[in-house]
């Protein structure tokens, strides 16, 4: 990257060396399938399970398209994840699975179902470096439909995860 004369002058005025910015590779992220949060009044239907799978696929696609993450395949640990406890309450198993996959970040998602009218999509991003805080993002849904889930995950990624709120 070539630096403009004005950028060189600004750097020198601030006492900084006029160097081009370094572009780091995006972190590898293990984006696990969504799960329903514990405590719902009814077991999820097959239609709802399919909705969760589509929502996870949409999240992976949006994160990949953003260039913020390189999404790694979670297929090698899918059976182990299915046999484990809820990824949100398993004392770090999501991070362990992500490390097995060579990821730098573990991304989990859950849906809280209060009723068929009120639901929440929650996404948790945990960088795997020592002491890095987990970030949580949430969006409320009104309606348990394919359309509400699709709009909800797209809104959450665009307006919460990618814009830093």
CATH number of the domain within which 101 lies:
3.40.50
On whether residue 17 sits in a domain, the answer given is no
On whether residue 59 sits in a domain, the answer given is yes
* Number of domains, the chain: 1
Residue 77 clears pLDDT 80, i.e. is over it: yes
pLDDT for res 61: 97
Question: What's the rounded Cα separation, in Å, for the pair 164 and 151?
Answer: 19
Residue 35 has φ and ψ, to the nearest 5°, of: -130, 155
Task: Please write the tens of the pLDDT for every residue from 23-70.
Answer: 689 999 999 999 999 877 778 899 999 999 999 999 999 999 999 999
On whether residue 71 sits in a domain, the answer given is yes
Query: Minimal CA–CA distance to 58: which of 141, 142, 134, 156?
Result: 156
On whether residue 19 sits in a domain, the answer given is no
Higher-confidence residue: 45 or 14? 45
Residue 74 clears pLDDT 70, i.e. is over it: yes
On whether residue 2 sits in a domain, the answer given is no
On whether residue 75 sits in a domain, the answer given is yes
Question: What's the rounded Cα separation, in Å, for the pair 36 and 113?
Answer: 7
Q: How confident is the model at residue 1 (pLDDT cuts 50, 70, 90)?
A: very low
Query: What tokens appear for 71 in the block?
Result: 């999404």
Domain range spanning residue 96? 26-161
pLDDT for res 164: 63
On whether residue 13 sits in a domain, the answer given is no
Residue 141 clears pLDDT 50, i.e. is over it: yes
On whether residue 66 sits in a domain, the answer given is yes
Question: Locate tokens 């709120």: which residue?
Answer: 165
């Amino acid at each position: 990257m070539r630096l403009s004369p004005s950028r060189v002058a600004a750097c020198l005025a601030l006492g900084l060396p006029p160097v081009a910015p370094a572009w780091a590779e995006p972190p590898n992220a293990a984006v696990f399938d969504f799960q329903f949060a514990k405590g719902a009044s009814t077991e999820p239907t097959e239609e709802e399970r399919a909705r969760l799978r589509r929502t996870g696929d949409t999240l992976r696609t949006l994160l990949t398209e953003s260039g913020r993450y390189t999404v790694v395949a979670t297929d090698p640990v899918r059976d182990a994840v299915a046999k484990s406890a809820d990824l949100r309450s398993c004392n770090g198993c999501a991070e362990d699975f992500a490390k097995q996959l060579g990821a730098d970040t573990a991304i989990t998602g859950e849906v809280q179902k209060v009723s068929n009218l009120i639901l929440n999509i929650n996404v948790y991003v945990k960088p795997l470096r020592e002491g890095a805080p987990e970030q949580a993002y949430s969006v409320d849904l009104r309606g348990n439909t394919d359309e509400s889930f699709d709009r909800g995950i797209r809104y959450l990624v665009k307006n919460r995860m990618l814009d830093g709120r």
